[in-house]
Amino acid sequence: MKATESLQVHIVSHTHWDREWYLTYEQFRLRLVGLIDRLLDMMESQPDYEYFHLDGQTIVLEDYLELRPHQEPRLRALIAQGRILIGPWYDMPDEFLVSGESLVRNLALGHRISRRFGTSMPVGYLPDLFGHVGQMPQILRNFGLDNAILWRGFGGRQAEYWWQSPDGSRVLMMHLPSEGYCNATRVHLDPEAMIDRTALAIRNETARTAVGQVLLMNGVDHVEPHPIIPALARQLAKHLGVSVTHSTLPAYVDAVRSAVAQDGAGTSLEVITGELRGGEDYANLLPGVFSARVYIKQANARVQALLEKRGEPLATFASMLGAAYPADELRYAWKTLLQNHPHDSICGCSIDAVHEENMTRFARAEQVARAVVDQSADVIARAVPGGPPGTLRLIAVNTTAEPVSGVVQA
């Protein structure tokens, strides 16, 4: 895109919230509490600071309100006004080290929490995940999301693509620049320095877009909101003679989608298929995390399998025999497990104290899951007719949802 008369620049303010990483969860949580406290004050006192994104995660709402329950009405009001954007995820997982079911549960929980506060951001936001599974467009589509915004795992130089899963599901993919989710974060108090740096980012992104929509990501890891952004947008618009707004990710996606449809650009966009594990020269993929702290991966696989393959199927069978289905217990176990799925947690690339807490969470989720298995198995066993006096019964239960023939080890 070379012409500037139809250029539209979206400045999107956000924080990227690694819940635990080089500090523990509780240490980062105190920073989060301070950030949201100041965000609420600023947005209420500065109406022209219109929008802020909480990194596509809803877990931050729980973390904040556990310590600041009295702030919930203020937070709810700004979410209801569309000024603070939440969801669609519960937390930001790694896609390769967790099961497909876990990815689905993560999005489902994120949507459920978002609905309690208002509505979920309709954007498939994947800013810092270490590559992407080929089925992600299919998963997003099944949650009503027709788009994805991502960075790592792909080295294409354009800003807009189609991304297609093996089943044919397709989403409009917007590829973040090589700087990732922080190409407009280093704003300065010096107006000239601000204008020059941001104008350079606009020029770089103008060369990447096929539809005249430029995304400037004003945020980075654990960063607080910059109150000068509305003034910066006005100065840039005057300086460059283009439309510059303090915007949102949904507004940017809508503008790209509309331009693709109206200009017929959709037919010319490249189609990317399947798994995204390349582009190392564009953004570091951190491949070594696959084998870091293997005990974390083993514990996760064990608890996932216990919930997916034993706990939930057996609880379903027991409920068919009249027992109450342990929905709350299983939701608690799943939520506890999902809290270990953020990429810095499950990948094993955090400090020792973080991974010690991971193992505690795994243990809690496993204890609940095993209790559900034991209680459900007891209900099933009592429903099976007994044999002659003095005999023992061996009951085999198929939890695979399909016929099985083979050796069973008791």
Q: What percent of the chain has pLDDT over 90?
A: 86
Question: Residues 146-187: pLDDT tens digits?
Answer: 999 999 999 888 999 999 999 999 999 999 999 999 999 877
Average pLDDT over residues 312-331: 98
- Say whether 288-383 and 8-285 share the same fold: no
Q: What is the CATH number of domain 288-383?
A: 1.20.1270.50
Task: For the chain, give every domain's residue range.
Answer: 8-285, 288-383
Indicate the pairing of strand 160-164 with strand 271-273: parallel
48 is catalytic: no
> Measured between alpha carbons, how far is 290 from 303 in angstroms, rounded to an integer?
18
- Kindly report the CATH number that applies to the domain delimited by 8-285: 3.20.110.10
Query: Which tens digits make up the pLDDT trace of 346-374?
Result: 999 999 999 999 999 999 999 999 999 99
Sign, CA torsion 98/294/278/344: positive
Strand order in the sheet with 271-273: 125-126, 147-150, 170-175, 160-164, 271-273
Q: In the prediction, which pLDDT does 394 show? A: 87
- For residue 390, the model assigns a pLDDT of 84
The pLDDT of residue 188 is: 65
What burial class does residue 42 get, using C-beta atoms within 10 Å of its C-beta: 0-12 exposed, 13-18 middle, 19+ buried?
Answer: middle
For residue 132, the 8-state DSSP code is: B
Question: Out of 128, 146, 254, 263, which one is annotated catalytic?
Answer: 128
